[in-house]
Chain A
């Protein structure tokens, strides 16, 4: 009987593993095959490594006539190291010039539009990729907290988060494999060039997939086995390995995206000079890495918050409701932890884009793509509003919240006002009658809200107010009982801190209208520092104030109103839409270039689509993703149904 049971468990183990393994295998097969395939097309057999395929690509490509309409290309980032290497002679490397393609070089597959197909697959891959890279980070932290505090609830919650993420791993790998196929099928010459530059990196990328797969499966399936003592430490070590492999995968693939936007490691003629590290280390690589790393945490948190909300709404018992309420709150906290610094990481990325190319920066922020940033502002505003609403609803869990509810309406006024300032476009859409009344295309008052001085002020205010909502919730169920200075006057000091911070942010914001643009952009740093100081100092003050405290009753987990859970869904949908739109912007800013200013896109789709068209495509992708997320949420439920008797 015991053996039967073990065999049954083994069978179930492998049954669960199968989809994930299949997805990974498909992806790996294509990642490994890709450089080989590109080499094969050029007639050089057996070469797998970058330098070898580099030479192959170079030999195979006869230069085509330059397109008549091609604008003069700016010299790509000159890399002295690469140039020095180039001078050493053809024995060590052969410069690879990007091919000049014609329309006939792009395969046509009946029934498929190449750009839309790749767009859908790439974005879906990125959604799942962001999710599965983000979740293990906070799962590990929660597990470590559980280990340290010896509170099993943390451990169980972390395990459940991983359970949700497991289907995500399979889907991310499956879409990754599909993306590789689609790129090779629709853009063979582009992939040939990319493999010729990054062949070695692609191989490492594929090998890291093995590493990640090893860690993800041992981490997840070894959870129960390694649940205590030294085994738990080994398990935590596996978690570090999983996150390390995930980070490497993200950084390697980011290097390709960054290279396409801001190519590096090229000589004066735009030819790849043979130094893969120089090609990887593009000007935008690290800004992209940081932005995506933070965003992954925020996004992973929002998706698991939606899972918890979904389970909360379908829970049958008060215990279940309490559990998923707590899980939702924890996920929400993780999401906000990532969300609050995200705008600043975004600013840094945009600043670096502008520094790399004025043309690219202006097209993004002031030109054809500027209106997508207005949509971005609307979605970020929706995220902040739903986050604050969730926190305000959370006050209902506490017994002493009545002391703070008077603050909510004034805070709502400040948040909405800051948000309106944040979304006001610089150039307004106006009818001719409105232009006549205003006396021109420039609005004397609203025009002032359209520049970064106002935007920075608004977003810092939004973040400070959101943090204030969080701090109110944290203290709503306790009362300080000490007699010292901090217990007596600590809250007054905190109020002073908030007032001083907001005053400083507004002063810097107004002052920045009167100083040069380059200095003005620099002022965002003290504004951000002020915001972070409020978060850090006020949290530290809380520790002193509530050193001695009494609880005003047990927290009422599970008592959240149903509508608060829809705020969590809103968070996820807004995040997903935002990622889709901004992912499009980041990619489309290359415009008619596969690799900006170096490798021209001459396919039939080498035009920038209209804004409604792009928004409609992104919306379609978001809808498919949400449907797949529901499938992902259903998987653990299905598994637990099968295990019902066992788990009880």
Chain B
């Protein structure tokens, strides 16, 4: 029964991921059941099966314990019934998987969405050209008015942005449910926390229509904010979202 051990290990790993991850996720986001997407699950299971097989077959004893029963079933005429049963089960499983792939579905196709759109070298806003790589937030140097600027940025946020991005800046505003993809969650470490202020300036200022052609599909309902806000207001709201979430904007090393 040695050969059942790796199978058991694989089943336990599967259940841990299938049920354990959504359970932990539901504690972090109450009211949801964050399943592991099937695309990720397939990658996980492929490597779990591989890792399990490797850890059971490095020695001759382990290898024989795993392979022995299979060889026995396929070479022993007395076990022909089991052999044909296994062939049938494997074939049926293959047919089931194939059917799952080809059966008609009304679901929209999955999209391969990139994380962040790449900014252009420069962008035109308010009739001016901004070099994104070297652009700095001019209000950052005004240390004396930092609190005032952040407060004014907050007022701008709650007049304009919070309907989508939410009062906690977690992307769960009133209108959020109507969008796919959902509005950005600024509290997540993967959004503004790893971006420079110049990137956020370009992204907010030019909105959905400003997204680059490469790496499509970009579907974004973000308005072109530079047509609605002034340059100073845009910098202030950026200061507010960083201050509110507690993240510092990313800075890059100066290239000499």
Binding site for B on A (CB under 8 A): 71-75, 77, 283, 351, 354-360, 362-363, 366-368, 370-371, 378, 381, 385, 388-389, 392-393, 395-396, 405, 408-409, 412-413, 415-416, 419-420, 423-435, 437-448, 450-453, 513, 516-520, 561, 563, 591, 597, 608, 611
Does A396 lie within 8 Å of B133, measured CB to CB? no
Distance between A232 CB and nearest chain B CB, rounded to angstroms = 40
The answer to whether A516 touches B32 (Cβ under 8 A) is no
CB distance from A425 to the nearest CB of B (A): 7
- Please name all residues of chain A whose beta carbon is closer than 8 Å to the beta carbon of B250 when the two chains form the complex: 516-518
B47→A419 contact, CB < 8 A: yes
Question: Contacts of B252 on A, CB cut-off 8 Å?
Answer: 354-355, 358, 518
**Chain A, Cβ-Cβ closest to B254:** A355
* Cβ contact of A438, chosen from B24, B32, B190, B251, cutoff 8 A: B32
B residues in contact with A447, CB < 8 Å: 188, 190
The contact of A442 among B182, B214, B255, by CB within 8 Å, is B182
Sample of 18 further A-B pairs with CB below 8 A, known A430-B110, A437-B34, A591-B214: A358-B133, A367-B215, A385-B50, A385-B54, A392-B55, A393-B59, A412-B55, A424-B40, A425-B40, A428-B37, A430-B37, A442-B185, A443-B25, A444-B32, A517-B250, A561-B63, A563-B57, A608-B214
Q: How far is the CB of A101 from chain B (nearest CB, A)?
A: 20
B129 within 8 A of A: yes
Query: In this complex, which of B28, B38, B115, B120 has the most chain A Cβ atoms within 10 angstroms of its Cβ?
Result: B115
Task: Verify A395–B28 contact, CB threshold 8 A.
Answer: no
For the complex, what is the distance from the CA of A72 to the CA of B35, rounded to whole Å? 43
Contact A367 B182 (CB under 8 A): no
**B184–chain A nearest beta-carbon distance, Å:** 9
Taking the nearest CB of chain B, how far is it from the CB of A391, in angstroms? 9
Can you list, as one digit per residue, whether each of B101-123 has a CB less than 8 Å from chain A (1) or not (0)? Answer: 00000011011111111111110
6 contacts between A and B (CB under 8 A): A359-B120, A385-B54, A412-B51, A429-B37, A437-B35, A520-B194
Contacts of B28 in A (CB 8 A): 444-445
Q: In the assembled complex, which residues on chain B have CB atoms less than 8 Å from the CB atom of A378?
A: 43
Nearest first, the 9 closest Cβ-Cβ pairs linking A and B are: A516-B248, A74-B121, A412-B55, A392-B58, A368-B215, A439-B32, A416-B51, A366-B116, A363-B118
Residues of A within 8 A of B198 (CB): 358
Chain A CB within 8 A of B69 CB:
no
Q: Tell whether A409 pairs with B55 under 8 Å between CB atoms, given A73-B121, A440-B171.
A: yes
Contact call B50/A445, Cβ cutoff below 8 A: no
Within 8 A of A (CB), among B195-227: 195-196, 198-199, 214-215
Flag whether B44 is at the interface (Cβ < 8 A).
Answer: yes
Closest to B23 in A: A445
Q: Which residue of A lies closest to B53 (CB)?
A: A389
Q: Verify A437–B32 contact, CB threshold 8 A.
A: yes
B251 CB, nearest partner CB in chain A, Å: 5
Task: Flag whether B125 is at the interface (Cβ < 8 A).
Answer: no
A315 to B59 alpha-carbon distance, docked (Å): 22
Question: Which B residue sits closest to A564, measured CB to CB?
Answer: B58
Q: Bound complex: CA of A580 vs CA of B247, how far in Å?
A: 37
Distance A385 CA – B55 CA, assembled complex (angstroms)? 10
In the docked arrangement, what's the CA distance between A450 and B129, Å? 34
- Does B229 reach chain A (CB closer than 8 Å)? no
Query: In the complex, what residues of A have CB within 8 A of residue B58's CB?
Result: 389, 392-393, 395-396, 408
- Within 8 Å by CB of B199, from A362, A371, A392, A453, lies A362
Q: Does B180 contact A (CB under 8 A)?
A: yes
In the complex, the chain B residue whose C-beta lies closest to that of A388 is B54
Report which of B47, B63, B115, B195 forms a contact with A381, defined as CB distance below 8 A: B47
Instruction: Tell me what chain B mostly uses at the interface: helix, strand, loop, or mixed.
Output: loop
Query: With contacts A358-B133, A359-B132, A363-B215 known, is A283 near B107, CB below 8 A?
Result: no
Specify which of B25, B52, B133, B185 is in contact with A74 (CB 8 Å cutoff): B133
| Cα–Cα, bound, A378→B47 (Å) | 9
In the assembled complex, which residues on chain A have CB atoms less than 8 Å from the CB atom of B35?
434, 437-438
Q: Are A396 and B60 in contact (CB under 8 A)?
A: yes
Closest residue of A by beta carbon distance from B32: A439
B24-78, CB < 8 A from A:
24-25, 28-29, 31-40, 43-44, 47-48, 50-52, 54-55, 57-60, 63
A131 to chain B, nearest CB (A): 27
Say yes or no: B190 contacts A450, CB within 8 Å. Answer: yes
**Is B119 a contact of A362 with CB atoms below 8 Å?**
yes
Q: Looking at the assembled complex, report how far the CB atom of A264 sits from the nearest CB atom of chain B, in whole angstroms.
A: 9
What are the residues of chain A within 8 A of B113 when measuring CB–CB?
427, 429, 441
Chain B minimum-CB-distance residue to A386: B54
Q: Does B131 contact A (CB under 8 A)?
A: yes
Tell me if B253 is interfacial: C-beta within 8 Å of chain A.
yes
CA distance A73 to B122 in the complex (A): 8
Q: How far is the CA of A283 from the CA of B119 in the complex (A)?
A: 20
With A77-B255, A516-B248, A591-B214: A437-B114 Cβ-Cβ less than 8 Å:
no
B156, CB-defined interface residue at 8 Å = no
In whole angstroms, what is the CA distance A439 to B32 when docked? 6
Across-interface contacts of B189 in A (CB, < 8 A): 448, 451, 453, 513
- With contacts A446-B40, A448-B189 taken as known, whether A371 is within 8 angstroms of B112 at the C-beta atoms is yes
- In the complex, whether B181 has a CB less than 8 A from a CB of chain A is yes
- The residues of A that contact B43 with a CB separation of less than 8 Å are 378, 420, 423
Alpha-carbon distance A395/B255, docked complex (angstroms): 49
Please, how many angstroms separate the alpha-carbon atoms of A71 and B213 in the complex?
Answer: 11
> Roughly how many angstroms separate A75 CA and B171 CA in the complex, as a whole number?
36
| Interface residue from A357, A434, A563 paired with B37 (Cβ < 8 Å) | A434
Which of B24, B51, B58, B250 has the most chain A CB within a 10 Å cutoff? B58
Query: Which residues of B lie under 8 Å from residue A434 when comparing CB positions?
Result: 35, 37-38
Given A72-B129, A431-B38: A367 in contact with B54 (beta carbons within 8 A): no
Which of chain B's residues have a CB closer than 8 A to the CB of A519? Answer: 248
B155 CB contacts on chain A under 8 angstroms: none
Alpha-carbon distance between A74 and B63 when the two chains are bound, in angstroms = 59
A502 to chain B, nearest CB (A): 19
Distance between Cα atoms of A73 and B181 in the complex (Å): 31
Q: For the complex formed, measure the closest distance between the CB of A317 and the CB atoms of chain B, giving whole angstroms.
A: 21
Closest-CB distance, A477 to chain B (whole angstroms): 15
Q: In whole angstroms, what is the CA distance A370 to B215 when docked?
A: 10
Q: B108–A432 contact, CB under 8 A?
A: yes
Please indicate the chain A residues that have their CB under 8 angstroms from the CB of B117 in the complex.
362, 367
How long is the Cα–Cα vector from A432 to B105 in the complex, in angstroms? 12
- The answer, yes or no, to whether B19 is at the interface (CB within 8 Å) is no
Residue of B at shortest CB range from A354?
A: B252
B161 close to A (CB within 8 Å): no
Cα(A419)–Cα(B50), bound, Å:
12
Contact call B196/A358, Cβ cutoff below 8 A = yes
Cβ of B36 to closest chain A Cβ, rounded Å: 7
Cβ of B21 within 8 Å of any chain A Cβ, yes or no, is yes
Closest chain-B Cβ to A437's Cβ sits at a distance in Å of 5
* Residue of B28, B57, B131, B252 with most chain A CB atoms under a 10 A cut-off: B252
What separation, in Å, do the CA atoms of A396 and B61 have in the docked complex? 11
Query: Shortest CB–CB separation between residue B73 and chain A, in angstroms?
Result: 21
Whether A432 contacts B247 in the complex (CB less than 8 A), given A412-B54, A415-B51, comes out as no
